[in-house]
Chain A
């Protein structure tokens, strides 16, 4: 249970970063931290004590396996996370070209 709570705290650190930081790069880092914590939580739920890697080899055809379903779902989520982080970074770099700063307060006050 303590592992689940620590995972939750990691998610909350990411949320804290998104809500209180004023720098675009740090906001992106906060989003990525939230995503990582969710990935880790899925794998933590699927772990079984004393089980092995879900790969069929000689002598381990039947043996207790770790749950392979969360692993298959997170496998795609990690690569999508890279692509979305790159999309956010490209938006940030474009805003920097237009306003000359990463500070969202200045970007906000320069509008109109």
Chain B
């Protein structure tokens, strides 16, 4: 009743845009009991989540100050507030109540910062919610909201993938150190969601160039899509790599000058940028125009082209997909040649995951194109040395060689 009558308020006041870390893993529809953990930007956060998970009742841990006013007390008791007395060191009451509710299959919302944080950075997380998740044996669903509520503002929220703490802590009575480590893990996750949300919002900004890029995509898919008839060989451990949300570097072997177009067809759902030798783009006027509209970034292979690398970094920071061929040129032989370390450097710098792909060479122009996806590679964020970049490059190369072997086996 309250939710239905509140819809106009939601449309006027929140105007929420919802993003997902991975839509295929966690959507708004949550099954069973779970603990929602969010940052706390505004007193309206609870109301926003109230409408975000429209078909579920949400019980929220609410500070004692909100219960001082009779009207708020009535509202919170009606919609599902769980009173938390922050000055009381005995936390058993609200922890047990929350555990009980989650075990009954309900959703409990917690703001571990326990007060409103108006700074850009996240505040200190208090770890009592970790006890709730461990005792209830329920997943934590991390959420980040930018708290931009108001008549002339628009809020954005991102829902992360669930974190199962029992996979990381098997102890029935975990030590304070273990609880703090889990608390740091969840805080880092919400920080990561904040960065992801900022990138996604930048990608949603209107730009005339994007219309031209979409026109180029339309031309490619309607003409070349029919020619290539790309067959995607999904990775069993992560079948949605060709539908990935967020930024990523797609790395592939380079057997033919058609490879970038094949990969653009494989990623037709997304606006992709492709790194290409400047001689290819500049060589022919019409080809150059089309490649520019498709979002190609030209690079001078014979010089230190920092401008192109800067463009690549900006594209990744704007949540786009970057297609790269680390061999640096067309190589029709096996992948025995060396890979250039630029991919690893960009991945480390922008924190973008790497998706290794293998584009199987076609024997005839009328054959179907086959694209094989390998395991996603994530760079270590802390180690940025050149040695680490070379190791990561070697990992990418080995991953593509494995895919090549797999493709050959399947072909026999």
Are both chains from one complex? no
Interface residues, chain B, CB within 8 Å of chain A? Answer: none
